[in-house]
Structure 1
Amino acid sequence: MSGDRPLATLVAEPWADYGLVDSGHGRKLERYGRFRFVRPEPQALWAPAAEEWRHDGEFLGASDEEGGGRWHLDRGVPRSWPLAWEEVRFHAANTPFRHLAFFPDMAPQWAWMRARLRPEDEVMNLFGYTGVGSLALAARGARVTHVDASKKSVETGKVNAELSGMADRPIRWMVDDATKFAAREVRRGRRYAGIMLDPPKFGRGPTGEVWRLEEGLPGLIADCVRLLTPESRFLVLTVYAVRMSALAIGELLRQATAALGGRVEAGDMAVREEARGLLLPTAIFARWSPATGSTAP
């Protein structure tokens, strides 16, 4: 049918410092450098490959749906430790939010964006967190505006830049509310060659601004599109932990970018399990790219 919208699957493969070792029965076992951790994973509906898992710590989730819980770590696990993806160096850490201070399933997105960059392109990373994605683009010569409401996350991003030997790269580290910053950039008449954004389901800005994904996303995407031109290289949207379809965010992005032309893809992000090669879904995404330019995967 002409109206069909095929969905893509982006698969993060294991690399030296990260791998999904095993999964099943609502949990997953991952390696982060020399350490292994167990975390809840509701989508791991199958049985694990191994009956027992050797690990250095486990996050035990709370019984409510608010995402609470706490880590139970062996004494040998430090507060943070260095990892690498390609030429980017950064610190992993067991955060109160159950993740490890970066999102390994973003690796295929980083590679896709890097393949489309031109020398000196100016890009923006909204909800940039600890800056691994920003550094992945800066490593290829991009000028980066990194925006996050958390001062602690932005400071961690600067530390990661130093660890990567990129403290002198042209990165603007902004502690700001992402929606307000994007709106101001529109009023300033700014344009970007690429934008990536990873908005949370719920959040608060640095001065108490409230963010709810379903309410705020359409307006934010509209502002992001106003910051692009038909010659821009990409807009990448990723969404975690929501009861929402990739079809929904794909249609939102198609409508918003209609005047730019180009192509919109949408689908699932997943990590390949090392034990059996099965795919564990982690997030949904939608991304725009122009009609011409690199076709690298």
Structure 2
Amino acid sequence: MSPKSAPRAYSQGGRPGPKSESKPVADKAQRPAAVPAAETRPLLTRAGDRPPERVPVILESAGAGDFHLIDSGNALKLEQYGPYRIVRPEAQALWRPALPAHVWENADAVFTGDTDEDGMGRWRFPKQALGETWPLSLLDVDFLGRFTAFRHVGVFPEQIVHWEWMKKQVEDAKRPLKVLNLFGYTGVASLVAAAAGAEVTHVDASKKAIGWARENQSLARLDKAPIRWICEDAMKFILREERRGNTYDIILTDPPKFGRGPNGEVWHLFDHLPLMLDICRQLLSEKAVGLVLTAYSIRASFYSIHELMRETMRGAGGVVESGELVIREAGLEGKDHGRALSTSLFSRWVPA
């Protein structure tokens, strides 16, 4: 993953729809023979029915490993990350906090400064100065948390539900699965997949993010795991993979709403997402088990990416399920069942 709201180098189930006949995902006849020299291509014309749908689907996390959401309110959230309690802005927390003020005031780190979605700021440490990084663990994978200038700490725990799903697919498969993680950020999802037995290709255009991901690989004791760390513009990479005819069984894509590549490439989510998904469709193997998209900090309904995913997967069979990722407040001890805090939109294609 990469920071969702910061400008960056682009580096329970719902109602089931009607069944339809499943068809191969990667239609070789539709693959373009060549891609123009410019790093783009036209959208392919898709034939066949759109996949049936499951909407709305709310995927909920109550926390895992070293993380849980303690409380939220007054446009803030109080989270537990390992030994630290952290306060960060959260515009969607419109209600009042459930816990008393003294609990919030006992936080170890508070993000201050510009609270705009794209704003930079700094961390305040009320008790004592803390180091830049500290060890964390999720789904039995160790990695580093880090206090960044864009309020993020190196992991987006609402995606635990996607990682748990992916982990199960990899572990249950009777063959090695190939996973492509686009805009992979600090590599936690890639490490979860590799630890489960997948062959992973991790792509992010930020050298700093790739360096952090490699640190996490060592901390997770996965130095010998089959992970390719690719520091490159995501669109350039997937276009090249399409030309080469390479395919993947699971694709995770977690694009920002805006970003710049290492050579000045500009990414705008609404402008470039249709082509990115179209190429990802071509990169799915004939026995693919999922294509997962998450979208943050955009003014849109989940239906916008849901219908795009259904159009992209027209004729592929399977099911498209879309909705929101939420985190449930769990209180100080991580055992309560509080309010649900919405964090992002998602859409996921899976075979029938």
Residue 112 of structure 1 pairs with residue 168 of structure 2: no
Counterpart Cα distance in 1 of 2:325 and 2:214: 27
CA distance in 1, matches of 2:291, 2:310: 11
Equivalent pair of 2:146/2:153 in contact (CA under 8 Å): yes
What per-residue deviation string (whole Å, max 9, x for no partner) do you get for residues 74-101 of structure 1? 4342110111112211000111111111
Query: How many pairs are equivalent?
Result: 291
Deviation at 1:200? 0.3
What is the match of residue 319 of structure 2?
263
- AA paired with 1:21? I
**Superimposed CA distance per residue, residues 147-187 of structure 1 (whole angstroms, 9 cap, x where no aligned partner):** 00001111111111111110111100000000110111001
Distance 2:114 2:244 in 1: 44
1:221 is matched with: 277
1:1-297 to structure 2, matched below 5 A, reads 6-52=55-101, 53=104, 54-62=106-114, 66-74=118-126, 75-117=128-170, 118=173, 119-275=175-331, 276-291=337-352
What residue ranges of structure 2 are gaps of 5+ in the alignment?
Answer: 1-14, 18-51, 332-336
Secondary structure of the structure 1 residue equivalent to 2:213: helix
Contact 1:175 1:206 (C-alpha < 8 Å) held by counterparts: no
The aligned counterpart of 2:3 is none
CA contact (8 A) 1:230 1:261 kept: no
Work out whether residues 11 and 108 of structure 1, in 8 Å CA contact, stay in contact via their aligned partners in 2: yes
State the alpha-carbon separation in 2 of the partners of residues 126 and 6 from structure 1. 25
**With structure 1 as the length reference, what TM-score do the two structures score?**
0.94
Question: Which structure is larger by alpha-carbon Rg, 1 or 2?
Answer: 2
Paired AA for residue 33 in structure 1: G
- Partner SS state of residue 256, structure 2: coil
Give the TM-score normalised by the residue count of structure 2: 0.79
Would you say the 8 A contact 1:10–1:269 is kept in 2?
Answer: yes
* Mapped contact 2:249–2:290 kept (Cα < 8 A): yes
Q: How many percent of aligned residue pairs carry the same amino acid?
A: 46
Change in 2 beyond 3 A, CA 1:135/1:16: closer
Equivalent-residue separation in structure 2 for 1:4 and 1:142 (angstroms): 28
Distance 1:138 1:19 in 2: 24
Mapped to 2, the partners of 1:142 and 1:230 lie a distance apart of 17
